[in-house]
Every structure is written in structure tokens, then in C-alpha cells.
Amino acid sequence: MGTFHQGVQKMIRGDIAQFAAAELIGFQLVAAMPGEAIVELEAGPQHMNPMGTMHGGILCDIADAAMGIAYACSLQEGEAFTTLELKINYLRPVRRTKLRAIGRVVKQGATVGLVECDVLDDQEKLVARASSTCMTLRGAQAEGRSFS
């Protein structure tokens, strides 16, 4: 079966399709290693709210993806995870720009870990910061996603 990290490397190379949510929203996983992942999104009109700025849920989606992939790439074969809590601070409005979400594992314990993410615009300005608490799953709880 392999590790999650091995599977996402296949995605980055284009050997297998991106996650369904990535295709739906339009973000791209561009880098992943144990403890860190980078997701990019070209913000367009399809991502905007009625005020003409990016919908906060889209920013949260790319931050969540970067954090989740960073955490998952640190897992061993046969392990999975679930998000227990997610928090995001929106720091500036976003319009049409290329966004980069950089997820990093801050602390990974035996069962619970803390992950954070900075979302930057194409000028390297911080537009959002998120944090998440994740729980590692093992055994029957870990059954699910396969990269085969």
C-alpha cells in the first residue's frame, strides 16, 4: 500500500490524479515532505463572494489541505488521521492573485499533533494564518484512502 507521502509524490509527478477537492476548487499540490506541504491556487472569479473578494471558505480549504498533507506525510504505513479542530485568521482581502498555502507540522505526538499554515499572495503578503489539531488513527480506524 505504501505511505501517504509516497502517494502524494505520485500526485506531484502527475502519475495519479489530485484529490477530488483539489480538482473541484482548483488548487494544486506542488510540494510535500514529512512535516511540510505547499498548495497553490490561482484565485479567480469562481472563488469570490458577493463583495468581490475571495470567499473565506476557499482560503480555509487550501490551508486545511496544506496542513493535512503536511501531517499525513509524517505518518507511517497503515496510519491515517482526522482533524479535531481548525482555526483561521483572515488578515487581508484577497482578489485575483496566486495564493500559496504553506502547511507545517509544529508538534507531532504519538496521537495528537499541531499544524499551522500561512497563506501568502503573489506579493508574499500574509493573507491568512490557520492552525489545526490532528489525531493519528491506527488499525481499523485508519482504513480508507489508498494510493494503489
Q: Which domains does the chain have, with CATH numbers?
A: 4-142 (3.10.129.10)
Q: pTM of the entire structure?
A: 0.93
For 51-104, the pLDDT digits (tens) are 999 999 999 999 999 999 999 999 998 899 999 999 999 999 999 999 999 999
DSSP output for 64-131: HHHHHHHHHTTSPTT-EEEEEEEEEEE-S---S-EEEEEEEEEEE-SSEEEEEEEEE-TT--EEEEEE
- pLDDT for 148 equals 44
